[in-house]
Amino acid sequence: MKATDQFIDEATLVAHAGAGGDGIVAFRREKFVPRGGPSGGDGGRGGDVVFVADRNLATLRDYRYRKEIRAERGANGGVNDRTGAGGDDSLVRVPVGTLFFESNGPEDAAPLADLSEDGQRFVAARGGRGGQGNARFTTSTRQTPDFATPGRPGGLAKLRLSLKLIADVGLVGLPNAGKSTLLRRLTRARPRVADYPFTTLVPNLGVVENDEVRFVVADIPGLIEGASDGAGLGDRFLRHIERTRVLVHLLDGAALLEEERDLIAEYDTIRGELAAYDPGLGERREIVALNKSDLFAEPSALERVADALKARGCEVTRISGATGEGTADLIVRIARALEAGADGE
């Protein structure tokens, strides 16, 4: 994978807001005003550092090497009571789903902000106020003040950014279950696929859209036993399905062609890891998709697995990500589940 294509979901940076401009000392010197008074203007306010959620972004890659963000300083005041120009804000675009924490704070600290909607903003550091010019200090007893105040420094924020992808549907399953192939089939996304385990090393997003439905699907890299404890980077992957409303659990139908594999046990492994990472994921609305049905001329083996899962209360369908068999029905099922709500109510 090229460096420019890397998926980055953690970053740290320092945000420096702009300092306020200084107030100045000045006096009027017009030809026909023999006793001109003080006319020093105020400094302009410094710019803020503002983060903006952008749905067109899906990675924090831009901030892997960019460690500092600086807003513009306010301009100094001018003569004739002119206020200096305010410094421009620094608008920093990040993916929807970015959370902000204090970089030195505890791991379990609440986020400073959670940009979960497109266009949502977070002012991380506010610009300093401008200083006051000497015209501000004129009183009945102090007609010619000869002093002004400097601008205030801008705010400083040391931040840790953490991305949790925003998707309606999460594709989960063991490595090589066919999630990336299914994502290609359902959407216009083009993740890398190949016939070996661990093809997907980063989450991928795609959009299912037609005249009747529109939803976002996240392909989560294959999970293994111990994923909730970090095995195979599973804990980093699992966080990207925390916000999904529906899970599509892909089971590799090809497992039925191998005597040493137990498809029901594999299902239980993934369910256990989901619940261990977050009990809420164990209760999330789920559709079980028996994938690679095209490998079976006689579907009786798949039917036995489907019947066993249905007996547990699972919603089950048979599909083939490679040929497209059953994917139209899967889209209908997903749309129905989303409409009903992730809790099934």
Q: Which CATH number goes with the domain that contains 219?
A: 3.40.50.300
176 plus 304 within the same structural domain: yes
pLDDT at position 90 is 97
Q: Are residues 102 and 156 in the same domain?
A: yes
Within a domain: 345: no
Q: Chain-wide mean pLDDT for the chain?
A: 84
For residue 297, give its domain range: 169-340
208 and 250 both lie in a single domain: yes
Q: Which amino acid is at 214?
A: R
How confident is the model over 268-283, as a mean pLDDT?
86
For residue 233, pLDDT over 80 is answered with no
Residue 176: predicted pLDDT: 80
Q: What is the mean pLDDT of residues 251-273?
A: 85
pLDDT digits (tens, 9 = 90+) for 8-38: 788 999 999 999 999 999 998 776 665 678 9
- Assess contact for 244 and 218: CB atoms under 8 A: yes
For residues 226 and 116, state if they share a domain.
Answer: no
Q: Of 163, 180, 212, which residue constitutes the final position of a domain? A: 163
pLDDT of 342 higher than 70: no
Q: Tell me: do 152 and 184 sit in the same domain.
A: no
Contact 128, 18 (CB under 8 A): yes
Q: Do 197 and 143 fall within a single domain?
A: no
Co-location of 219 and 317 in the same domain: yes
pLDDT digits 0-9 by tens, 35-69: 678 999 999 999 999 999 998 887 888 888 889 99
Whether residues 56 and 139 share a domain: the answer is yes
Of 43-52, 93-102, 212-221, least confident by mean pLDDT is 212-221
Whether 122 and 188 share a structural domain: no
Q: Are residues 87 and 118 in the same domain?
A: yes
- The count of domains in the chain is 2
What is the per-residue pLDDT for 223?
60
CA angle at 266 for the pair 185 and 250, rounded to the nearest 5°: 15
Q: Which amino acid is at 181?
A: T
| Element spanning 272, H or E | helix 263-277
User: Is there a contact between 126 and 90 (Cβ–Cβ < 8 Å)?
Assistant: no
Q: Which of 105, 134, 163 is the last residue of a domain?
A: 163
Task: Say if 53 falls within a structural domain.
Answer: yes
Looking at residue 195, its pLDDT comes to: 45
Q: Which residues partner with 205 through β-bridges? A: 218
Contact 257, 220 (CB under 8 A): no
Among 163, 181, 199, residue at a domain's last position? 163
Pairwise CA distance, residues 114 & 117, whole Å? 9
Res. 258 pLDDT band, cuts 50 70 90: confident
With b meaning 16 or more CB within 10 Å and e meaning fewer, what string describes 226-247? ebbeeebebebbbbbbebbbbb
What DSSP string describes 284-305?
SEEEEEEE-GGG-SSTHHHHHH
Segment 240-247 mean pLDDT: 86
Could you tell me the CATH number of the domain that includes residue 127? 2.70.210.12
| Cα gap 57→210, rounded to integer Å | 22
Q: What count of other Cβ atoms lies within 10 Å of the Cβ of residue 127?
A: 31
Same domain, 174 and 61: no
Higher pLDDT, 127 or 56: 127
pLDDT band at 164 (very low <50, low <70, confident <90, very high): confident
Does 176 lie in the same domain as 159? no
pTM of the model: 0.71
3-state secondary structure of 121: strand
